[in-house]
Amino acid sequence: GAGVSQTPSNKVTEKGKYVELRCDPISGHTALYWYRQSLGQGPEFLIYFQGTGAADDSGLPNDRFFAVRPEGSVSTLKIQRTERGDSAVYLCASSLESGAKQFFGPGTRLTVL
Amino acid sequence: QQPVQSPQAVILREGEDAVINCSSSKALYSVHWYRQKHGEAPIFLMILLKGGEQKGHDKISASFNEKKQQSSLYLTASQLSYSGTYFCGTEGSGGSNYKLTFGKGTLLTVNP
């Protein structure tokens, strides 16, 4: 596709459930980033991939959060035992290489009831 | 450390100018500027690297003062399409040239 795509666009789940959020980066972009954005705040860094490997996962809030990028393209952010505090917009971005301008996807709005 | 943006919000009439500031308490390698409209993805505006760089992009330009650890975004002759929330994302000089820390944003409203 022309830009970064994310699915689903909206996800409503119940407390305690497991969710998966998908990111499809721009073709050829080796770097992929996940951010979380709460209302009235800037994007908050979660994890960065260079190729297939997670180069930095220091932003993941706890071990309920995990992300993979097995083939160096599509990435999935996985959240176990969701909590109401996990509700936010989860943004994915990709760049041609690390440090280059990042192109953001439209985000997935996660609501945990 | 999250950069501090000022002002938090600004309202302009079409054609007026605005300056948005971004300050950090730590040494910076680069500053990235984005604009986000409500419910949409942040859109890249420009990257400034350390060295006192200044860049221009249509009627939007920015400067980066490495010594003061701050950057300013200048919007001249504002248009209605400039409305949105502007974020600066800073990259520390410690070596991780990929991890951006974003400010809380500046809400810009341009009225006719």
Name the helix (H) or strand (E) containing A37: strand A31-37
Range 22-81 of A in CB contact (< 8 A) with B: 31, 33, 40-45, 48, 50, 55-56, 58-59
The domain limits of chain A are 5-97
Q: What is the mean pLDDT of residues A95-101?
A: 85
* pLDDT, tens digit, 9 for 90 and up, residues A35-80: 999 999 999 999 999 989 888 899 999 999 999 999 989 999 999 9
Cβ pair B105:A103 closer than 8 A: no
Chain mean position to CA B109: 15
Phi-psi category of residue A64: left, alpha or beta, with phi > 0 → left and psi -120 to 50 → alpha: alpha
Phi and psi at B82, nearest 5°, equal -75, -15
Q: What is the mean pLDDT of residues A13-38?
A: 96
**Spatial contact of A21 and A108, defined as CB atoms under 8 Å apart:** yes
For residue B29, the model assigns a pLDDT of 85
Phi-psi category of residue B11: left, alpha or beta, with phi > 0 → left and psi -120 to 50 → alpha: beta
Determine which of B49, B88, B98, B106 to mutate to test the interface with A (most A C-beta atoms within 10 Å): B98
For residue B28, the model assigns a pLDDT of 85
- Report chain A residues whose CB lies below 8 A from the CB of B101: 45
In this predicted structure, the answer to whether residue A102 has a pLDDT above a threshold of 80 is yes
- What is the number of domains present in chain B? 1
Cβ pair A107:B41 closer than 8 A: yes
Phi-psi category of residue A46: left, alpha or beta, with phi > 0 → left and psi -120 to 50 → alpha: alpha
For residue B52, the model assigns a pLDDT of 61
Q: What is the DSSP letter of A105?
A: -
Instruction: Please name the residues in contact with A4: beta carbons below 8 A apart, sequence gap of 6 or more.
Output: A23, A24, A25, A26, A92, A93, A94, A103, A104, A105, A106, B41
Report residue A2's pLDDT band, with 50, 70 and 90 as the boundaries.
confident
Which residue matches tokens 């119940």? Answer: A14
- Report chain B residues whose CB lies below 8 A from the CB of A4: 41
Residue ranges making up the domain that contains B104: 4-111
- Residue of B82, B88, B86, B87 whose CA lies nearest to B109: B82
For residue B66, the model assigns a pLDDT of 84
For residue A98, the model assigns a pLDDT of 79
- Report chain A residues whose CB lies below 8 A from the CB of B41: 4, 91, 104-107
Per-residue pLDDT of chain B (112 residues; tens, 9 = 90+): 899 999 999 999 999 999 999 999 988 888 999 999 998 999 999 888 876 666 666 789 999 988 889 999 999 999 999 999 999 999 877 656 678 999 999 999 999 9
Question: What CATH number should be reported for the domain whose range is A5-97?
Answer: 2.60.40.10
As a whole number of angstroms, the distance between CA B84 and CA B82 comes to: 6
For residue B96, the model assigns a pLDDT of 62
Instruction: Identify the CATH number of the domain in which residue B87 sits.
Output: 2.60.40.10
